[in-house]
């Protein structure tokens, strides 16, 4: 089985911020992850990442929130998207 792209959505917000979600189903878990997904979710502005979720090879599941990296407990693709969008929404509120 080859990797299968499940989603790639990119939105440019009015203030110039970018929200992008890329999720692949992969035939083998990415090293340091135990599930069959490779993902990169990004929210940033002016070249700076504000929120990011990814499972970079060897680092496993983690997120970046306001410049700090945290471990992330992957449950499902739906939960991943919900967690990411909740963090983005928190930062968009005045």
Tell me, what's the pLDDT at 67? 96
- Look up the pTM and report it: 0.94
Distance CA 29, CA 39 (A): 11
Tens-place pLDDT, residues 4-51 = 999 999 999 999 999 999 999 999 999 999 999 999 999 999 999 999
Under a CB-based contact definition with an 8 Å cutoff, are residues 33 and 61 in contact? yes
Tens-place pLDDT, residues 66-84 = 999 999 999 999 999 999 9
Long-range contacts of 47-55 (CB under 8 A, 24+ apart): 50/17, 50/88, 50/91, 51/84, 51/87, 51/88, 51/91, 53/80, 53/83, 53/84, 55/30
Taking the domains of the chain in order of start, what are their residue ranges?
Answer: 4-92
């Amino acid at each position: 089985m080859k990797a299968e792209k499940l989603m790639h959505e990119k939105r440019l917000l009015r203030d110039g911020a970018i929200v992008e979600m890329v999720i692949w189903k992969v035939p083998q878990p990415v090293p340091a992850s135990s599930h069959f997904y490779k993902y990169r979710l990004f929210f940033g502005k002016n070249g700076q990442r504000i929120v990011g979720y990814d499972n970079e090879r060897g680092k496993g599941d983690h997120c970046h929130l306001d410049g700090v990296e945290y471990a992330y407990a992957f449950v499902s693709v739906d939960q991943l998207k919900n967690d990411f969008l909740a963090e983005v929404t928190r930062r968009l509120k005045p």
